[in-house]
Structure 1
Amino acid sequence: MSGWTWQAWIGLVGGTAIFFAVLGPILLVQTRRYGQMSLPRVLGAAGVSIYAVALVAYTLLPLPDERANCATAHGALELVPGHSIADVARETAGFSVLSTLTSHAFLQVVLNVVLFVPFGAIARRYWSRGLGSSILLGALVSVLIEATQYTGIWGLYECAYRVADVDDVITNTLGAAVGALIAPIVLGWMPSTRVLRASRDRARPITVWRRWFAMVLDAVAVQVSITVLSLVFVVPRVLLTGATGPDNDPTLPEVLSIGAGTVILVVVLPALIGSGASLGQRLVWLQPEWPDGRGSVARRLYRASLVAVPYIATTSVGQLSGRAEGLTQTVSGAVALLSLIIVTTAVVSVPFTRQHRGLSFAVTGTGLRDARSAAVQAGSPSRATHDA
């Protein structure tokens, strides 16, 4: 069994790393698709990540030396169904029952079945597929794996990567069928997508984690905007002048243009459109509750820029890198310090403000509510509060 355990460790370590790398997008997709974050389905996503990496490890690793592999490759395609049974009988002739059940030939067949049991369960319960569709998906994935082996990872090797075996497809499909059949039992604790979507439009309490997630999404929006605008303003100059090394760094005018553009895209436009919520707040179904029902332009811009503008300024100025010196360096440092204080205060204030509004809402006397609440959908006057 030791020859079949190292792949499991690769799946555990690699799958866990991939899961945390895509955790943010997973939570965002859940919030938009189901109207809330579902812890059981987050755990399911972790399981899928680990299983996917383990499946690749078991079917494609280790990668052999190409020359040695092609020199010894033979019988790259096995199309005789059921030959594995004959192989087990031949290799275990004269063995006791226990020895037969623990032989490499027998365990190879059993593990090919076991390997796809999680796939069937995932397809049936996590992906909400029917019994037949789950089994068919298992068969198709198994065929894809065998084709990858037969084609030498689609041309990466000049010869067959491993033996493409029809019995592997049969046993893998059998495993997927077993997993699909037992999925309602073993994964009964996981809510289906249909159940979650049914309550998608129901307003929910505003939690600290939801507010913090909105802040993270706003920070991501700032980074994306700065990256895109940097490409727009800096790349043409670099291509035209052939600049290299430190000369590739944005100049002060470019940094100011990037920062101003980001303020317009991430702060001004969201503040003036619709409810006035930031991009991150909109993504998690939050919106301001203005004291006068809609909020003046000045109040909207003030609330939107109080935390965002210092953060954008610091992030933009950080691109100056080695170009900053003298007065520019001093101003950059002061802006960075001010931004740190404001952003930290905004984050820390969330648990201690009513409705978990945070700094910008409290300072401007603005309330916060779920965007799906009946009062907002009906367009009724706000019951907003004025206290900070």
Structure 2
Amino acid sequence: MSSGRLDPGASIGQIGDIYGAGGLRALAGSFTFWQFAANIALFMPFGFFLHQASRWPGIAVVAVGASASMLIELSQGTGFFGVFPCPYRIFDVDDLIANTAGVVFGLVASYIAIGLLPFTRPPRLPDLAPPGRIRRAVAVMADLGIGLAAVTAIQGVGVVFEALSDGHTTPQPADLTPTLNTWVGAAVALVLGVVVPLVRADRATLGQAVMNIAPVRTAQHTTAPAPWAVGVRAVIRFVPWILSPTLLGPVAAMIELACTFLTRERQSVAGLASLTRTRSVPSIRADRARGDAPTVVMEPLT
């Protein structure tokens, strides 16, 4: 894997040739073999701990691992999408294959651990307390991370297809204008911040869904927000990052966090403007089952 390749299995073929010519001794001294093995080993903890922490279905864990590997390869092969005048490393589809295989091995190890080790099967506790600031912040960061990944993927796919159409074996640096980047970011924000929540019955974003929380109307603790409220939340959360990811975005995030310390129900600016608050999905379901009476629990410290 000394040069960028877009032909799947080339490294595996080289490893087979090395083994056929010199056996295990030759394989043990092969850089190609050890680099391929290292790429597998690198992503095994990723698959193991992601499954242990999330308990997502196996296919979801593999999909997230493969996506993470793809983003790494695209950033390496394009000089961070044109930020540098040339790629600082290479794009190699075999690295993607090896990384994904590592996720699969880690996933298998997680299933084995669940079957053998009792401490990997903690008892389920009712999730009825108001979600803390850390949990809500992680949901926001997940939304921003998903958005960044989507923008990067869109740009990267264009780079790869351009390279293939021009007959290159390695993707070339992207030549993307600031205006195009802004429009791509706006399109992704529209989908993630408006379209996805409106499609979902609970009006949650993907980041909120990952953390098992959802917004509700301030005056009606089990009713999903109105469509206009979804739009308001999306504008406040995403627009600053689109306009200025190095200044306005971080400042807006700090203001949002500060607002949760100043309001009685720990609402953010987005929550105040859209007349919504955030609750855990199990608590919403529990209140609906008992007739829309808010669940009374001790609030967490975070």
Q: TM-score, normalised by structure 2?
A: 0.51
**In the alignment, is the contact (CA less than 8 A) between 1:206 and 1:356 conserved in 2?**
no
Deviation for aligned residue 1:377: 5.5
Residue 234 of structure 2 is matched in structure 1 by 304
**In the alignment, is the contact (CA less than 8 A) between 2:260 and 2:267 conserved in 1?**
yes
Instruction: Give structure 1 stretches of 5+ with no counterpart.
Output: 1-17, 34-122, 135-190, 316-335
The within-5 A match list for 1:367-386 is 367-373=277-283, 374-375=285-286, 378=289, 381=292
Q: Distance in 2 between matches of 1:299 and 1:264?
A: 14
Q: Distance in 2 between matches of 1:204 and 1:30?
A: 20
Q: Among 246, 250, 254, which residue is 1:344 paired with?
A: 254
**In the alignment, is the contact (CA less than 8 A) between 2:52 and 2:120 conserved in 1?**
no
Q: Among 250, 273, 292, which residue is 2:176 paired with?
A: 250
Deviation for aligned residue 1:128: 4.5
Residue 225 of structure 1 is matched in structure 2 by 150
Compute the RMSD of aligned alpha carbons: 4.0
Per-residue CA distance 1:27-85 (angstroms, 9 max, x = gap)? 7852556xxxxxxxxxxxxxxxxxxxxxxxxxxxxxxxxxxxxxxxxxxxxxxxxxxxx
Deviation for aligned residue 1:239: 4.8
Per-residue CA distance 1:242-267 (angstroms, 9 max, x = gap)? 89999623134532442133113321
Amino acid across the alignment from 1:339: G
1:30 lines up with 2:16 in the alignment: no
The within-5 A match list for 1:20-169 is 26=49, 30=53, 127-130=113-116
Q: Distance in 1 between matches of 2:184 and 2:287?
A: 35
Aligned-residue sequence identity (percent) comes to 23
Deviation for aligned residue 1:354: 3.6
Q: Distance in 2 between matches of 1:367 and 1:382?
A: 16
Q: Among 197, 213, 224, which residue is 1:286 paired with?
A: 213
Amino acid across the alignment from 2:195: L
Q: Distance in 1 between matches of 2:227 and 2:179?
A: 28
Q: Which has the higher contact order (CA 8 A, sep 6+)?
A: 2
Q: TM-score, normalised by structure 1?
A: 0.41
SS across alignment from 2:247: helix
Q: Among 161, 180, 187, which residue is 1:236 paired with?
A: 161
Deviation for aligned residue 1:306: 0.8
For this pair of structures, how many residues does the alignment match? 194
Residue 360 of structure 1 is matched in structure 2 by 270
Instruction: Give structure 2 stretches of 5+ with no counterpart.
Output: 1-41, 57-108, 296-302
Per-residue CA distance 1:195-228 (angstroms, 9 max, x = gap)? 42x43x5434422221222122122111211111
Q: Distance in 1 between matches of 2:51 and 2:195?
A: 22
